[in-house]
Each structure stands twice: as C-alpha cells, then as structure tokens.
Structure 1
C-alpha cells in the first residue's frame, strides 16, 4: 500500500510540474528555430523565387511573438520558415 501511495505522489508531482517545464522548452525551441533560420540564410543568397522576403518577414513576426511571450506562435512561424528553407535547399517549390 505504501508503495502505491508513494508512486502516486511522484506521478502527481511530475504531472503538475510538466507545464512549467513545457513553457521553458517552448521558449528554447523558439530561439533554437530562430538560430537555425539565421544559420540557413546562406541558402537565400542565390534565391530567385522571392523566398528571402518571406523568410525575413517570418523572422520579424516570430521575434515579435517571442518578445510578447507567445512562444507557440513563434514556434509555428519558425517551423514553417524552416520547412520553406528545407524545400528551397531541395530545389522544390515550398
């Protein structure tokens, strides 16, 4: 009986602490994505499709979302921008 109560306490504590860790991870992921976009801007040097302007706009929007604390929006924007860069690297049309 003591083991199951103790296990229940640990599970409950872990579940209650999860949202706190998730918020920190979102901020980290947002910043990581922004860094990855910055690192991959080399791909835009020879871009003739007009994606450079779209990526720059996305970065500005993501930074604004990050500054306002809307990490989910920042992640959404940066993930799409990274996908566009990946497609551009493959030579495809994003």
Structure 2
C-alpha cells in the first residue's frame, strides 16, 4: 500500500511539473536556434540570393517574440531561418 501511494505521489508531482519543463525547453530551443543562426552568419556574407536580408528580419522577429515570451513563435521563426540557411549551405535556392 505504501508503495502505490508513494508511486502515485511521484506521478502526480511529475505531471504537475511537466508544463514548467516544457516552457523551459521551448525557451532553451529558441535560444539554441538563435545561437545556431548567429554562428552561421559567415555563410550569409557570401550569399547572393538575397536571403541574407530575410534571415536578418527573421532574427529580429525571433528576438522580439523571445522577449515577449512567445517561445512557440520564436521557435517557428528560427526553425524556418535555420532551414533556409541549410538550403543556402547546400547551394539550393530556398
């Protein structure tokens, strides 16, 4: 009986704490994506497709979303920018 009560307490605590962890993970992913984009700026120096300006705009929008605690929007913006950077790196036209 004690084990099942203890297990129930742990399960309940984990479920209540999970939204906090999700928010932290989103904030971390947003910042990680921004760091990856900033580390890829050298690639943008040789860009002739005009994507450099779009990436700069995306960075500004993502930072604004991050500052407003809209982590989902920040992740959405930075994920697209990272995909565009990967396409540039491959020589493709995103």
Instruction: Please report the TM-score for the alignment, with normalisation by the length of structure 2.
Output: 0.94
SS in 2 for 1:47: coil
Q: Give the gaps of 5 or more residues in structure 2.
A: none
- Quick one: distance in 2 between partners of 1:82 and 1:23? 21
Give aligned pairs, total.
94
1:28 aligns with 2:36: no
Q: Deviations over 1:38-66 (max 9, x none)?
A: 00011111111110011000000001101
SS in 2 for 1:61: helix
1:44 aligns with 2:49: no
- Give the CA deviation at 1:2: 2.1
- The answer for the alignment partner of 1:12 in structure 2 is 12
Instruction: Please report the TM-score for the alignment, with normalisation by the length of structure 1.
Output: 0.94
Moved runs in structure 1, 4+ residues, more than 2 A? Answer: none
- Give the CA deviation at 1:29: 1.2
- The answer for the alignment partner of 1:56 in structure 2 is 56
The alignment's C-alpha RMSD in Å is 0.9
